[in-house]
Amino acid sequence: MSANGSPTGQQPTATSDVVKDSAFLRACRREPVPHTPVWFMRQAGRSLPEYRKVREGIGMLDSCMRPDLVTEITLQPVRRHHVDAAIFFSDIVVPLKAIGIDLDIKPGVGPVVERPVRTRADLARLRDLTPDDVSYVTEAIGMLTRELGPTPLIGFAGAPFTLASYLVEGGPSRTYENAKAMMYGDPELWADLLDRLADVTAAFLKVQIEAGASAVQLFDSWAGALAPADYRRSVMPASAKVFRAVAGHGVPRIHFGVGTGELLGLMGEAGADVVGVDWRVPLDEAARRVGPGKALQGNLDPTVLFAGREAVEARTREVLDTAAGLEGHVFNLGHGVMPSTDPDALTHLVDYVHTRTAR
């Protein structure tokens, strides 16, 4: 058995022993850490001038399909901020594009689907995803794990509900009227759609894990639009299927959504090892809602970074204080880095958390 061995009965991954012993993965496993680990959602790009430079003139989806560019963008925040984990640069709609869905990411709008999925006949367009469909992902992760050394790489995918929302609405929505109309009015079609998307999502995560990702995060960005009963009945089964599908690979599974304070317990119940918390719920209260046996991730309000160093440190101390009794804690923002954030504020935040929590 090599240094890449995994727990008994589980499939091997490309994670080396030194990566497995990283503060980030130890926190995910609820083990003692030398300091609270930090990474940021949307850290790969957005606020970094070096990101804007390498992306100039290149569309978002094209950027996600170029292994050299994916590697460079993923590494940029690790070099600059000294975060404890890298997040693979991609987009949640990449697997949909890979299986032939006609969509594009339009600047200032987001993903736009040319032909929304509204009928049972439309399901036929959602074929299975194979590793060959995303060979550029495998290549990029191979390049990244060689460059990252002891720093873990987080793979990610969009959760079935959020992907279904884009597919049914045809793009971003504030009300999700078409998606919810299908969920309420044709629950069998809705269940079949989410089940199909769960298979696509699980396959996309497996590609990333088998290529060398040390953890994975499932983004259910829009799950906060759901009542708990609707989430349990109409969404959680598909998310749980994704988590079960990758359970045997032995890597931590993180689950995150925005505005999901009322769903935190259910999101943990779906099968995550780590539950992401946005800034609306204090971490000690989030721990009560999630229950024992899970690590938590979060949860500084991203807008605090615009308030000056003194305010950032004060609010960060509050987050760390509420996390003091947690079984495991990964420091993060309560959502993604805003594009106009000063990169120096992020760098200082990482250093501040590391220094204040040094054991």
Residue range 261-276, pLDDT digits in tens = 999 999 999 999 999 9
Per-residue confidence (pLDDT) for residue 257, from 0 to 100: 96
At 15 the pLDDT is 54
Phi, psi angles (nearest 5°) of residue 157: -155, 160
Annotated active-site residue in 30, 46, 196, 253: 46
Give 305-308 contacts, CB < 8 A, sequence gap 24+. Answer: 305/333, 305/337, 305/338, 305/341, 305/342, 305/345, 305/346, 305/349, 306/338, 306/340, 306/341, 306/342, 306/345
Nearest to 84 by CA among 32, 54, 40: 40
Kindly report the average pLDDT of the chain as a whole number. 94
pTM, entire model: 0.94
pLDDT for 258 equals 95
Selecting among 26, 42, 80, 196, the annotated active-site residue is: 42
Smallest CA-to-CA distance from 193 within 234, 233, 225 is with 234
Tokens read off for 24: 């980030």
Place of tokens 């919810």: 180
Give pLDDT tens digits for 269-313.
999 999 999 999 999 999 999 999 999 999 999 999 999 999 999
- Residue 46 bears catalytic tag: yes
Nearest to 282 by CA among 232, 255, 320: 320
201-212 pLDDT, tens per residue? 999 999 999 999
For residue 14, pLDDT over 70 is answered with no
pLDDT at 12 over 80: no
51, 166, 176, 231: the active-site residue = 166
55 is catalytic: yes
Of the residues 26, 30, 51, 55, only one is catalytic, namely 55
pLDDT at 312: 98
Tens-digit pLDDT profile for residues 153-181: 999 999 999 999 999 999 999 999 999 99
Give me the pLDDT at residue 43, please.
Answer: 87
% the chain with pLDDT above 90: 93
Contact 128/138 with Cβ under 8 angstroms? no
% of the chain exceeding 70 in pLDDT:
96
Work out whether strand 86-87 and strand 153-158 pair parallel, antiparallel, or are unpaired. parallel
Average pLDDT over residues 221-245: 97
pLDDT at 126 over 90: yes
Q: Which amino acid is at 96?
A: L
From the candidates 91, 104, 284, 301, give the one annotated as an active-site residue: 91
3-state secondary structure labels for all residues of the chain:
CCCCCCCCCCCCCCCCHHHHCCHHHHHHCCCCCCCCCECCCCCCCCCCHHHHHHHCCCCHHHHHCCHHHHHHHHHHHHHHHCCCCEECCCCCCHHHHHCCCCEEEECCCEEEECCCCCCHHHHHHCCCCCHHHHHHHHHHHHHHHHHHCCCCEEEEEECHHHHHHHHHHCCCCCCCHHHHHHHHHCHHHHHHHHHHHHHHHHHHHHHHHHHCCCEEEEEECCHHHCCHHHHHHHCHHHHHHHHHHHHHHCCCEEEEECCCHHHHHHHHHCCCCEEECCCCCCHHHHHHHHCCCCEEEEEECHHHHHCCHHHHHHHHHHHHHHCCCCCCEEEEECCCCCCCCCHHHHHHHHHHHHHHHCC
